[in-house]
Chains A and B, each alone.
Chain A
Amino acid sequence: MLVDGLVMRYGDRTAVDGLSFEVEAHTVTAVLGPNGAGKTTTLETCEGYRRPQAGTVRVLGLDPVRQRQDLLPRIGVMLQAGGAWSGARADEMLRHFARLHANPLPTDVLVERLALHECGRTPYRRLSGGQQQRLGLALALIGRPELVFVDEPTAGLDPQIRRGVWELLEELRADGVTVVLTTHYLEEAERLADKVHILDQGRLVASGSPLELTRGGTVATIRLVVTQPFPAGAPEALARALGDTTELTVLDPLSLQVSGPADGTTLATVAAWCADHDVLPESLSLGQRNLEDVFLELTGREDLR
């Protein structure tokens, strides 16, 4: 899948502003961004709902608007919300979509994997948000697509079911399905995605594997908590020992934080300093930058979990 120089405007608001990225086959790609970053607009353009105002979009080598009928059987789309007759039951919806495809999955596979049997004979309008969500995912998968678009697949699901969905998405990749997902949960992207594209205000601000993105700063944080207040002058001695590449902050008389290169030397220096100054550590913790830190640095926003 290829997005090249995509521009989408609504009135005078630019939702997507010259966006380009690629999705490799048989991978999980996460598109991240704060609300209004252009994620859903981008996905809906790839799904053929919207015509690119500028730039090119190709999905499985096809133009999603002009070659829609060739593309549709090959993709699965999970919408953010809705999409079912209010009076239809979950099993009915699933069977209906199965019959529109040539080689559908057996419906009971999806019913079991997504715990849809609990929907029973309840009509769609009275299903819980999480049940509607899982049905939406099942409908995206029933036709055995080559590529699935999943928009916020686990928003509002309880933790146990969320893990089930994650395992399902991992299994899809293992079975050769390409997955493109948008998510608000950085934890989700970090766990699932082979590649992450971070969008902000319709532009791509970073791309890479979760590892590449989080390694970007190669900064580690060491937090030390001690049993007795630091001896006078000891923190200053540590700062000198660590040198210019690290930053030391005394948080309170019993704890301090060191930010520096994520390597063993920093840790060894801190440990040696403890021995030299008779400092008894109560706890020593190491923190790595995670996708959330990267995300916040890049987008400067905190409206994500």
Chain B
Amino acid sequence: MSPDIGAPAGSGTFAPAPGAAPVARQLLTQAGMEARLMLRNGEQLLLAVVIPVIVLVGAVRSADRLDLGIDGRPVDVLTPGVLALAVMSTAFTSLAIATGFERRYGVLKRLGTAPLSRTTLLGGKVAALLAVEVVQFVVIGGVGLALGWDGPDGFVGVLAVVLAALCGTAAFASLGMLIAGTLRAEATLAAANLVYLLLLAGGAVILPVSTYGGLGEVVQWLPSGALGEAMRSASDGVVAVRDLLVLVAWAAVGSVLTARTFQWE
């Protein structure tokens, strides 16, 4: 039975005229709302933009005095690493925390009463993440360029950055949703921040796998390591197929587990 999407029937202010909006409009509406809320929230903005910029400027400055074990110019290695960190903070930490509280406050329950399918809702969330990442890349990339970064190498480099961002978003978003859909909101908040800090410190996001010595063998299989490497290769104009496949595998595992375990309330 298809809903009536004609003009309002009958008379009176509240005369029924039910119907769902076209999916494209729903998706844009949902994405716009979520992106606005994310960028308006002080803590999220701190996580999305301020911390990565501080990390980038701090690391580039200290690399002049400290030996970070980096081959080549520090800014060319660190900027793509911080871009990877930005993807991780938005797709994993911000998404997990926001979704955890959406569950807690019944937002998902209420959205479940609107004619919005789960696929469109998830699509809206992903689109919101990508919109926020565009803002992050403009700001962080701009700071990187100001510090002397050359930018991604050629058209292939730009394409590789986009691919790395998409695969990284898929992997981290599926893991973020996994945490948000199973733990309580407070536990999600704690876990998402803890994992973020651990991966920031030791996940080969900002510093290349090559600086981790023997541990690099392990770290390169983490989503953080794979995303970091993919982004650094992209900066050099190379599509890192192995790292992208690692990310896709994480996304597949995360999505299957999330689909099985996610609790809407």
Contact = CB atoms under 8 A, between A and B. Distances in A.
B14 A141 contact: yes
A101 to B, nearest CB: 6
Contacts of B10: 175-176
A83 interface: yes
A76 B18 CA distance: 10
A21 interface: no
Contact of B105 (A84, A99, A109): A84
Interface string A183-226: 00000000000000000000000000000000000000000000
Nearest to A143: B18
A69 B115 contact: yes
Interface residues of B, number: 40
B56 to A, nearest CB: 28
Interface residues of A, number: 45
Contact of B113 (A77, A81, A146): A77
Given A96-B33, A143-B18, A144-B16, A102 B109 contact: no
Nearest to B113: A77
Contacts of A84: 105, 107, 110
B203 to A, nearest CB: 30
Interface in B103-157: 105-107, 109-110, 112-117
A103 B5 contact: yes
Contact of A143 (B1, B107, B115): B115
Interface in A30-80: 47, 49, 61-62, 67, 69-70, 72-77, 79
A99 B26 contact: yes
A174 interface: yes
Nearest to B108: A83
A274 B263 CA distance: 71
B107 A101 contact: no
Contacts of A99: 21, 25-26, 29
B37 interface: yes
Interface of B is mostly: loop
Interface in B68-123: 101-102, 105-107, 109-110, 112-117
Interface string B183-223: 00000000000000000000000000000000000000000
B5 A83 contact: no
Given A79-B110, A99-B26, A85 B20 contact: no
B21 A101 contact: yes
Given A73-B3, A100-B115, A83 B110 contact: yes
A241 interface: no
A145 B16 contact: yes
B3 A74 contact: yes
B12 interface: yes
Nearest to A74: B18
B101 A86 contact: yes
Contact of A92 (B17, B33, B106): B33
B120 to A, nearest CB: 9
A140 B109 CA distance: 13
A231 interface: no
A141 B22 CA distance: 19
Contacts of A96: 29-30, 33
Contacts of B17: 102-103, 144
B16 A177 contact: yes
**Which 3 residue pairs are nearest across A and B when measured between Cβ atoms?**
A102-B19, A83-B110, A175-B12
30 contacts: A61-B1, A69-B117, A70-B3, A72-B114, A73-B115, A77-B113, A83-B109, A84-B105, A84-B107, A84-B110, A85-B105, A85-B107, A87-B40, A88-B37, A100-B20, A100-B29, A100-B114, A101-B18, A101-B19, A103-B18, A105-B13, A143-B18, A144-B16, A144-B18, A145-B16, A175-B10, A175-B11, A175-B16, A176-B15, A177-B14
Given A87-B40, A175-B15, 13 more contacts: A73-B115, A79-B109, A83-B107, A84-B105, A85-B105, A96-B29, A99-B25, A102-B20, A103-B17, A143-B114, A144-B8, A174-B12, A176-B16
Interface of B: 1-3, 5, 7-8, 10-22, 25-26, 29-30, 33, 37, 40-41, 101-102, 105-107, 109-110, 112-117
